[in-house]
Chains A and B, each alone.
Chain A
Amino acid sequence: MAQYAILIYANDSAHAPQATPEDLAIHDKHAAELEEAGAVVAAFALTPRDMATSIRGDVVTDGPFVEAKEVVAGFYVIEAPDLDAALEIARRNPATQQGGGVEVRPVHSGGVITQPAEG
């Protein structure tokens, strides 16, 4: 088994601070499917591009790093036996049907770091 990161590109993230459950329904449904399939290692929905801050060199600016029509709206890491299997999962992402898309990248290393318990 290998791990793949799936980066979701969309015009913007649906997960705005004031987003209603209806706004998020389609994404929640997809997340539930993935969870059921048992493939997800970690998943993160990001807030919209308006909330992004970028640093290039020493300069901090408002907005996403790359000025493009699409931004990374979220990402998740899945476990799959091979790329075909990963693509099969990735293509079901609602973003692919909404004018955006996904990028699948094999994970080199990493994971959630657990802090040692205190005391």
Chain B
Amino acid sequence: MTAPGEIESAVADAHRRGWGLVLATTARLTRDLDLAEECVQEAYAAALVGWARDGVPKQPIAWLTTTAKRRAMDAVRRERVLRSKLPLLLEPDEMTDEELLEPVEEEAVDVVPDERLRLIFLCCHPALAEDAQLALTLRLVCGVSTSDIARMFLVSEPTMAARMTRAKKKISTARIPYRVPAAAELPDRLRSVLAVIHLLFTTGHTAPSGASLLRTDLADQSLRLARMLGELMPDEREVSGLLALLLVTDARRATRVDATGRLLRLEEQDRSQWDRSAIAEAHELIVAGLRGGRPGRYILQAAIASLYAEAPAYDQTDWPQIVTLYDELLTVWPSPVVALNRVVAVSMVAGPAQALFELEELEKDGRLDRYQYLPAIKADLLERSGRGDEAAIAYRRALDLTSNEAERAFLAERLARLDQE
């Protein structure tokens, strides 16, 4: 007999570890994402019943894959005619139904990675709208329910469902191929996969609006995805770069706000609470990633974040090294946001006056007109230069552009303190 709750937790664990693989394998058989989803859902439901009766199988994910594929096969045979309403997913390669029905060995979960990769590249295809890429990845690769995804993105469930249906329809009608891109297109396509994972993380890390600064579910899912991708593509340095960046950023999760939800600045955070093992893991990845060839943007971003995290105290941060890394980052990724972050580091090396000069150059550029962190940083630099009146104007401008409650409270507090002086 199995203890109560044990089956549920075994199924939940198989869901977390295996959903993407089971779905990816099943989708190759059905060539229809909706049908594949349905069959996988049924397989997990069957596991709850079957495992309670027969015990948890030695190879739970293989069990689930076989069950889902059998259901898919039945459905495909039954509905071959019905399903011709929509074009099917492009056949990845010629495999007979019998070959596709072969049971998956549990070891294959680790050694045959391309099934999940196919699915990830499909969900993150640049021909799909960005919000659809995020939603499809969460639904199909991570197995997050549509209602949870709707909650994460603060939209209604029907809206989210419609968004996903539209994306799936485009996948089949425009014939977006279900395959891992060829070597020539891989760098571009991988960039869009990494962007999706990063965007999921930042959406979770700083929710763009709403009361809670952290939406931990999203951050957890994106970390899991980055880890999965790291296992699937161990030779891609930017993949380990992204994982390192997420790890080192997430290591500070517990200290970003105080007990009342107030946003804490880096220098106010309790460094003893940071997740040292995550920071150490990131460090290893960064050291390996900086070796050989010109580093990419994620490795460099991770290296910068890691320098902040590894300093024993805020005022002992290696600012000159951070400015150097930002210079290098700007050459591979000439983004005005990167330039703005560099300004902060410059202020610590060369003082707020020099930093203000560089920030005003960025302001003229105009691309950051609606970016709330520009006036926020400007306000801080002005305040540090003893120009309180101008700082107050900049804080007000930042407040106008910010919708996250915790960030608004932070800015309002700075402004109030300034007005008192």
Contact = CB atoms under 8 A, between A and B. Distances in A.
B129 A17 contact: no
Contact of A62 (B85, B128, B169, B173): B128
A50 interface: yes
B108 interface: no
B132 interface: yes
Contacts of A62: 126-130, 132, 170
A14 to B, nearest CB: 14
Contact of A60 (B86, B126, B166): B126
Interface string B349-379: 0000000000000000000000000000000
A50 B166 CA distance: 7
B169 A58 contact: no
A7 B85 CA distance: 28
A52 to B, nearest CB: 8
A106 interface: no
Interface residues of A, number: 13
A17 B132 CA distance: 19
A47 interface: yes
A61 interface: yes
A59 B128 CA distance: 12
Given A60-B127, A61-B126, A63-B129, A17 B86 contact: yes
Interface size class of B (residues with CB under 8 A): 10 to 19
Contacts of A58: 188
B169 A53 contact: no
- The binding surface of chain B is classed by DSSP as helix
A51 interface: yes
Contacts of B188: 58
B87 interface: yes
A8 B126 CA distance: 27
A60 B188 CA distance: 10
Contacts of B211: none
Given A60-B127, A62-B127, A62-B132, A51 B85 contact: no
Interface string B119-136: 000000011111010000
B100 interface: no
A47 B127 contact: no
Given A51-B174, A58-B188, A17 B169 contact: yes
A67 B92 CA distance: 33
A50 to B, nearest CB: 6
A50 B170 contact: yes
A109 interface: no
A4 B166 CA distance: 34
Contacts of A59: 126
A53 B174 contact: yes
A18 B169 CA distance: 10
Contacts of A50: 166, 169-170
Interface in B133-189: 166, 169-170, 172-174, 188
Interface in A42-57: 47, 50-53
A18 B170 contact: no
A61 B127 CA distance: 5
B127 A53 contact: yes
Contacts of A60: 126-127
A27 to B, nearest CB: 18
A52 B132 CA distance: 14
Contacts of A63: 129
Contact of B87 (A17, A52, A61): A17
A52 B170 CA distance: 8
A18 B83 CA distance: 12
A15 to B, nearest CB: 10
Nearest to A60: B126
B57 to A, nearest CB: 40
A51 B129 contact: no
Interface in A7-59: 17-18, 47, 50-53, 58-59
Q: By CB atoms of chain B within 10 A, which of A17, A52, A58 has the most?
A: A17
A12 B132 CA distance: 20
Contacts of A51: 169-170, 173-174
A53 to B, nearest CB: 4
Given A47-B173, A51-B170, 16 more contacts: A17-B85, A17-B169, A17-B172, A50-B169, A51-B169, A51-B173, A53-B127, A53-B174, A58-B188, A59-B126, A60-B126, A61-B126, A62-B126, A62-B127, A62-B128, A62-B132
Interface of A: 17-18, 47, 50-53, 58-63
22 contacts: A17-B85, A17-B87, A17-B172, A18-B86, A47-B173, A50-B166, A50-B169, A50-B170, A51-B169, A51-B170, A51-B173, A51-B174, A53-B174, A59-B126, A60-B127, A61-B126, A62-B126, A62-B127, A62-B128, A62-B130, A62-B132, A63-B129
Interface of B: 85-87, 126-130, 132, 166, 169-170, 172-174, 188
Ranked nearest first, the 8 interchain pairs of A and B with the lowest CB-CB distance are A53-B127, A60-B126, A62-B129, A51-B173, A51-B174, A17-B173, A51-B170, A62-B128
